[in-house]
A and B are shown apart, each in its own frame.
Chain A
Amino acid sequence: GESVGLHLPTLSVQEGDNSIINCAYSNSASDYFIWYKQESGKGPQFIIDIRSNMDKRQGQRVTVLLNKTVKHLSLQIAATQPGDSAVYFCAENIGSNFGNEKLTFGTGTRLTIIP
Chain B
Amino acid sequence: GAGVSQSPRYKVAKRGQDVALRCDPISGHVSLFWYQQALGQGPEFLTYFQNEAQLDKSGLPSDRFFAERPEGSVSTLKIQRTQQEDSAVYLCASSHTPGLATDTQYFGPGTRLTVL
Contact = CB atoms under 8 A, between A and B. Distances in A.
A100 B42 contact: no
Nearest to B112: A41
Interface stretch (A12-20, A78-86, A104-112): A104-112
Main secondary structure of the interface of B (DSSP, over half): loop
Interface residues of A, number: 33
Interface stretch (B43-51, B62-70, B74-82): B43-51
B91 interface: yes
Interface size class of B (residues with CB under 8 A): 20 to 34
Interface string A43-57: 111100101000000
Interface string B89-103: 001010100111111
B18 to A, nearest CB: 24
Interface of B: 4, 31, 33, 35, 39-45, 48, 50, 55-56, 58-59, 91, 93, 95, 98-110
